[in-house]
Structure 1
């Protein structure tokens, strides 16, 4: 995977020559003397015999200097170079242009990633890879001894600043250490070109987004949700941020077109509850959750009886998409019902049902899409279910811009720069959908043309 090459060192006025440089000078002097002596020998015939032995000695000295030169050159410091995927001709051309941006001035003065030694300035190895669509890639910089892990976020900003000229459409969005910690990969992408899906408002508008693999759902041009890898999803957004349109008008309908069984439950009655045969009464929502628990148990028994491991190995066992919207209102309503009649214990029944579905439902093809305005325990799911639904998270509008909200479902990313998100805009973090979606990334819900 890795090949070897020698480190590049920039010679300065005060730098000490390396061993091979001494022998390079000696070789040049010896060759020069050999050429001069050869010319004198051929020009003055009287000295031809006398100079022959001396010329042979100089030729031997040339050969010895050359051998020592190669020997000391091979003993220079070796560095690892990273193996990058194959690129198209256009990608290679753009990668070369991008690599030239990270010149000696930017490496030494801006990023300060060079090492000053007695032999000169040691420079890190740099490799660039760009995807076929020319919209994303990575810059791999050698993990020099002067890297400080806590400063990686600062390096992201500096590198984005370096790209702000000719390549201002690119911005560094993520970073990682390679295996063996030899290089740091800084992933960049085109942030000026929107990846939002445009949906025409007609009956068959979603047909073009249907995929052959029914377990994958297209959420954006560069984002596919692999529901067999990450089965549950959380959607957090304030009122009028576009969450219901995304969940009901796009996601639920797309699931139906791909052969899913879809049910849309919401504590606030709306068009999607009616369209997808859901419930809006709190007690009935709990009963539907308990009903799907019984379906889950039945499916588990069928899978075990058939000697299978996964539900998609079974015939006639389609995916099930269960939407639970307005969870904050649902929790408040259930709490009020328990206060009026403590014997019904609706909150406990709801917690038990949703925890079971979120923990075991994935094995039977049941997918929960939990939707709320807030990600807190009171406004969203109980702790266990929230953890089970945290691998695929979409936060829109003000919720995405709130560090307090992100700590519940996107913990560890409180320091994301503040942003003003428009309608249907926010952050998404979906495991199993590619490297860049493993951390919170800018996301736009599909746009419906009226």
Structure 2
């Protein structure tokens, strides 16, 4: 716990002195007068007896002023405290250098987080924490009734601007208030050092990324998707943005290596449909979804008979991942089929099946990875399934930079800084993968060196 300190007030022109400052001035004046009386009495002996009473009076005044100074000093406004985790010596040195960037000029003139009072500018407390890898950390700025100024649009980018020069690799990625509203936390990280996985184009190239936890899949150096915590995943990306390579070439193959059962269905026939025994015909895709509903029911029955709650407690019950790619194309095809044959009701069957799988499949070890170019109702999943698949979302390319797309799957984060994303780049928000991934965060898909 940080030792409690008093509020620092930076004087301004024409500001009023604080109470302890007045008593300090009075103490200095009376002390000087006391010293003069002693000097005169020691120099001119004839005046000694006449100066004795004034000397006693001045000594009493000195003591009174000293007591009043100590009292008023102890009654100054105290600052809030925050617990800072222990840092290594190197991390501590970096945190001190970063803290020096936030000087009085930056706090008052740039960020405008100080409070102007009759006594001067009240300065908030500021602490910086850096992890031992020197890759990320946070800046804690005391909330002294200045939250409305820090909650302005693009304020995080303003804080990032202070991390300039040799520290420009750091950028603020999110911010929040502490539980007691006493500090504003700005999380920063190294954004110039790529966390992308590089995969050699060989048969056994994915083996190095196998996780000891079969339910966890590594998506980048700093991101692991824990399917036992967040069961379903959505991938939204335009054509040529890298979604099929991420889903089919990397994730599906890695799942097989970790012992998963994988099926890849796509309304557009491609290599992964053939490789993972999927379907490309719209009607057959719906039939496969209905088939997996029966598998889910059987699994739930087995779990119930074994007096267990989830498939995680069943030793030989493997994870099943169902990929549904080109959902916009699938929805359009199903709608067209219903218009041709109204008795088919294929769209209703698809809605029922995918809603059931997304709502109950997690308990039976069935995971859905829904892939589309758009996140709208027409281009993606039905409303219920979309909600169930919104806890883990990856958006690549132009979709990641579209506020309209983000509002469908990552509601509350539509207003983000506009950025240009290259191939295989975008944002990801995956609950259960660490605090920084609870908000949309820059993400790069694995890169195959072929």
Q: TM-score, normalised by structure 1?
A: 0.93
Residue 343 of structure 1: aligned partner: 343
Mapped contact 1:2–1:80 kept (Cα < 8 A):
no
Cα pair distance change 1:413/1:47, threshold 3 Å: same
Q: Tell me whether 1:204 sits opposite 2:204 in the alignment.
A: yes
Residue 168 of structure 1: aligned partner: 168
SS at match of 2:239: coil
User: Per-residue CA shift, 1:74-122, capped at 9, x if unaligned?
Assistant: 1111221222222111111111111111111111111112222111111
Cα offset, 1:40, TM superposition:
6.3
Residue 10 of structure 1: aligned partner: 10
SS at match of 1:330: helix
Residue 118 of structure 2: aligned partner: 118
Residue 263 of structure 1: aligned partner: 263
Cα offset, 1:419, TM superposition:
2.6
Mapped contact 1:3–1:80 kept (Cα < 8 A):
no
Q: Tell me whether 1:242 sits opposite 2:269 in the alignment.
A: no
Cα pair distance change 1:46/1:206, threshold 3 Å: farther
Residue 276 of structure 2: aligned partner: 276
Cα offset, 1:191, TM superposition:
1.4
Residue 448 of structure 2: aligned partner: 448
Task: Return the alpha-carbon distance in structure 2 between the equivalents of residues 441 and 163 of structure 1.
Answer: 19
User: Per-residue CA shift, 1:361-394, capped at 9, x if unaligned?
Assistant: 1111111000111212222111110111111111
Task: Return the alpha-carbon distance in structure 2 between the equivalents of residues 24 and 239 of structure 1.
Answer: 73
Which stretch of the first structure deviates more once superposed, 118-127 or 60-69? 60-69
Cα pair distance change 1:91/1:14, threshold 3 Å: same
User: Per-residue CA shift, 1:242-294, capped at 9, x if unaligned?
Assistant: 11110011111111222211111112222212222222222221121111111
Mapped contact 1:393–1:428 kept (Cα < 8 A):
yes
SS at match of 1:179: coil
Task: Return the alpha-carbon distance in structure 2 between the equivalents of residues 209 and 37 of structure 1.
Answer: 84
Task: Return the alpha-carbon distance in structure 2 between the equivalents of residues 213 and 20 of structure 1.
Answer: 61
Cα offset, 1:52, TM superposition:
7.3
Cα pair distance change 1:411/1:40, threshold 3 Å: same
User: Per-residue CA shift, 1:12-35, capped at 9, x if unaligned?
Assistant: 331111111122223334444555
Residue 88 of structure 2: aligned partner: 88
SS at match of 1:206: helix
Residue 307 of structure 1: aligned partner: 307
Residue 103 of structure 1: aligned partner: 103
Cα pair distance change 1:64/1:335, threshold 3 Å: same
Q: Structure 2: which 5+ residue stretches go unaligned? A: none
Task: Return the alpha-carbon distance in structure 2 between the equivalents of residues 358 and 93 of structure 1.
Answer: 48
Q: Tell me whether 1:324 sits opposite 2:324 in the alignment.
A: yes
Task: Return the alpha-carbon distance in structure 2 between the equivalents of residues 34 and 210 of structure 1.
Answer: 81
Residue 291 of structure 1: aligned partner: 291
Aligned ranges 1:39-438 → 2 under 5 Å: 59-148=59-148, 151-438=151-438
User: Per-residue CA shift, 1:126-145, capped at 9, x if unaligned?
Assistant: 11111221121111112232
Task: Return the alpha-carbon distance in structure 2 between the equivalents of residues 3 and 382 of structure 1.
Answer: 54
Cα pair distance change 1:202/1:38, threshold 3 Å: farther
SS at match of 1:411: coil
Task: Return the alpha-carbon distance in structure 1 between the equivalents of residues 320 and 35 of structure 2.
Answer: 86
Cα offset, 1:48, TM superposition:
7.7
Task: Return the alpha-carbon distance in structure 1 between the equivalents of residues 270 and 201 of structure 2.
Answer: 19
Cα offset, 1:36, TM superposition:
5.4
Q: TM-score, normalised by structure 2?
A: 0.93
Task: Return the alpha-carbon distance in structure 1 between the equivalents of residues 3 and 161 of structure 2.
Answer: 31
Task: Return the alpha-carbon distance in structure 2 between the equivalents of residues 57 and 303 of structure 1.
Answer: 90
Cα offset, 1:178, TM superposition:
1.0
Task: Return the alpha-carbon distance in structure 2 between the equivalents of residues 387 and 441 of structure 1.
Answer: 20
User: Per-residue CA shift, 1:192-239, capped at 9, x if unaligned?
Assistant: 111111111112211121111122211111111121221111111112
Aligned pairs, how many? 450
Task: Return the alpha-carbon distance in structure 1 between the equivalents of residues 329 and 101 of structure 2.
Answer: 53
Task: Return the alpha-carbon distance in structure 2 between the equivalents of residues 298 and 49 of structure 1.
Answer: 109
Q: Structure 1: which 5+ residue stretches go unaligned? A: none
Which stretch of the first structure deviates more once superposed, 150-159 or 27-36? 27-36
Task: Return the alpha-carbon distance in structure 2 between the equivalents of residues 249 and 188 of structure 1.
Answer: 32
Task: Return the alpha-carbon distance in structure 2 between the equivalents of residues 410 and 228 of structure 1.
Answer: 21
SS at match of 1:96: helix
